[in-house]
Structure 1
Amino acid sequence: MTVDIRPAIWATFETVMGERGGCGGCWCMLWRRTSKEMEAGKGEGNRRAMKALFDGGQVPGLVAMHGDDAVGWVQIDRRTAFPRLATSRTLKPVDDQKVWSVSCFFIDKTFRRRGLSLNLLNAAVDWAQAQGANVVEGYPIDTPKKKYPPVYAWTGFVETFRKAGFVEVVRRSDTRPIMRKTLQGEERDKDG
């Protein structure tokens, strides 16, 4: 499978999310909004909120292109862009380091179980590093894949993160570690 992974533009992101807007109308806004905002915005409200990020010139993630088709998505941004992580009992900050977070994956069902999530994760790390990141963090599921439907594993699986060189730094839940990858090079990003 040959894919080209690149910064998302609205059209490619919208294609990957499909008519339903990803999982249940989330439009990948779960970590960017409070629980109340997320529920109230389910569907069109979340779509508008994400489109506003794109319209404002932000690049909230990367897409995988298979020819002309957008088939995968990974959300990557400074952790501060995801205020809901800060209020999570399980995923709250480990320390005061300025980290970038890989918060969501969404892969077209015909491209699942083919290694695309690892390709997306590696590309996200490279992209964050190019933006000045020193540490990238993720919040994968640690449970056997056969027992956990991939469509609900939108934060990724732990084995994918291990293959990409991430290490577990804390685990506040049996199934949800916080994993990090420290990037090489001198400190570049004073803001995150």
Structure 2
Amino acid sequence: MEGPPPRRRAHGVTDVVPLTPDRWPALAELLDHGGPAARCWCMAWRIGPEYRRRTAEQNRAGLHDVVAAGPPPGVLAFREGVAVGWCQITPRGDVPAIDRQWRLRRVDAAPVWAITCFYVRKGHRRAGVMADLVTGAVDLARAAGAPAVEAYPLDGAVSPSATSTGYATTFAAAGFVEVARRSPERPVMRLLL
């Protein structure tokens, strides 16, 4: 399954597409710009704290293997042919380290898909890319037959810190509702598909 076809977003400048092996170079170029994403390569939720003991190259190779094996583990946002954003979305079972966090433990036994990570290129932040990534991620999950999508964003009214998991307001605007909150700053939000 390659996921839904690319789709032009409402503001006409961002295409959001599933991360397939042929699009790996675009993701690599995006994440190679430094910062936490260039160290983690979205392996933290897949393997837990072990990702910190691995080199950035090992984490990069780990995500490359996930992409090569398929199905797409997330979506990429493009503007004028350049990747400007990334969102990891997978069945929750593919990111087992999330269950180690007491704040994020399962709400129930529903077989949800989990949005666990975002990266938006500098110069494209606060321009609607994250909202487009959320929509694209939901489209990917829906095309795969997921019954629901969960997210674990920060509540910006409680914690203004930067986050790679997004903000609750972005998810609320996309129709997600809070289903649990075990710490003041971190709601568990869900969208039924």
Please indicate the TM-score interval, normalised by the length of the shorter structure. 0.7 to 0.9
- 2:167 corresponds to 1:154: no
Whether 1:182 aligns to 2:172 is no
Aligned-pair CA distance for 1:178:
0.3
- 1:22 is displaced (CA, Å) by 4.5
Question: What is the deviation of 1:14?
Answer: 0.9
> Could you tell me which residue of structure 2 aligns to residue 10 of structure 1?
24
SS in 1 for 2:85: strand
Change (3 A) 1:143 1:118: same
In the alignment, residue 170 of structure 1 is paired with which amino acid? A
TM-score (norm 2): 0.87
Q: How many Å separate the matches in 1 of 2:180 and 2:121?
A: 30
Q: Is the 8 A contact 2:31 2:38 kept in 1?
A: no
> 2:46 is matched with which residue: 6, 10, 32?
32
1:31–1:82 CA contact under 8 A, matched in 2: yes
Match of 2:109 among 96, 99, 114: 96
Uncovered stretches (5+) of structure 1, i.e. residues with no partner: 184-192
State TM-score, norm by structure 1.
Answer: 0.88
Deviation at 1:19, TM superposition (A): 4.1
Any residues of structure 2 matched to 1:108-123 within 5 Å, and which? Answer: 108-123=121-136
| 3-state SS in 2 of match to 1:137 | strand
Amino acid at match of 1:180: R
The answer to whether the Cα contact below 8 Å between 2:74 and 2:89 also exists between their aligned partners in 1 is: yes
Aligned length: 179
- Structure 2 counterpart of 1:189: none
Give the counterpart letter for 2:166 in structure 1: G
Distance 1:68 1:159 in 2: 28
Q: Say if 1:145 and 1:18 are closer, same or farther in 2 by CA, change over 3 A.
A: farther
Q: Aligned residue for 2:5? A: none
Aligned-residue sequence identity (percent) comes to 38
Q: Which runs of 4+ in 1 moved over 6 A?
A: none
Aligned partners of 1:63 and 1:72 also within 8 Å = yes
* Distance in 2 separating the partners of 1:137 and 1:28: 17
Q: Which runs of 5+ in 2 are unaligned?
A: 1-10
How many Å apart are 1:182 and its aligned residue?
0.4
